[in-house]
Amino acid sequence: MEEGFVRLEKVSKIYGSGEVQIKAVDEIEFSIEKGEFVIIVGPSGAGKTTVLNILGGMDAVTSGEVWVDGKNIAQYNSRQLTRYRREDIGFVFQFYNLVPNLTALENVELALQICKNPLDAATVLEEVGLKERVKNFPAQLSGGEQQRVSIARALAKNPKLLLCDEPTGALDYQTGKSILKLLQDMCRQRGMTVIVITHNSALTPMADRVIKIKNGKVSAMKRNETPVPVENIEW
């Protein structure tokens, strides 16, 4: 646990106050190397989303330290957290969360206009395979395409960390697979650290590192020396 690009140390998150207290995350600890493709897996209510929220700077911890690229974001105030999200984090939502009246290109550009050294929006969209649809509005795109736009939006920010919350949750099998492949490819090609949260443990073979969470604690963490390409996984 000594080194690591992302490192959580005794992180706890307790919701509620007074008599009813729910420990969503209980002194969780893990660490992730740079450039790894990480899958955090666990059943519903295990605390995956809380971990993601904490990592994404969307929620504050109750106690513990969260180190990302040498900085403890647990101590950030809300403004620092906003900057952290703005500059260091890319987020892929389960339901894409695109702005409905901006075209695909504009949706990507929307994210870019607030970040420091973005990539070219059109190029990124081309990379995710949407060259032909840049001028379409979200409503004119399929779910998978919308998610690709969402990924492009996250990637174009050139973030340190790409967080994906059930990226295939709302997609059919094939599309889900292609999205995962896209994520894996991006990780490999760009050397980006990607953290995918899913409840589907069938996906774990494709990850460099698998972190299993249960009842707010890390129940197992293993480093997968030979990750399997997603095409070879069936579920």
Nearest to 145 by CA among 91, 203, 199, 98: 98
How buried is 217 (Cβ within 10 angstroms: 0-12 exposed, 13-18 middle, 19+ buried)? middle
Q: How many C-beta neighbours within 10 Å does residue 1 have?
A: 9
SS3 content of the chain, % helix, strand, coil (to 5): 35, 25, 35
Residue (110 or 228) nearer to another protein, CB: 110
Q: Which of residues 79-138 bind another protein (CB under 8 A)?
A: 79, 82-87, 89, 91, 93-95, 97, 99-103, 106, 109-111, 113-115, 137-138
Residue (192 or 206) nearer to another protein, CB: 192
Find the binder of another protein among 24, 40, 49, 74 (CB under 8 A). 49
Residue (78 or 174) nearer to another protein, CB: 78
Nearest to 103 by CA among 153, 168, 178, 170: 153
Residue (72 or 140) nearer to another protein, CB: 140
The DSSP element (H or E) to which 87 belongs, if any, is helix 78-88
Based on the shown chain and the rule CB under 8 A, indicate whether residue 56 belongs to the binding site for another protein: yes
Q: Which residues contact another protein by CB under 8 A?
A: 49, 53, 56, 58-59, 79, 82-87, 89, 91, 93-95, 97, 99-103, 106, 109-111, 113-115, 137-140, 153, 165, 170
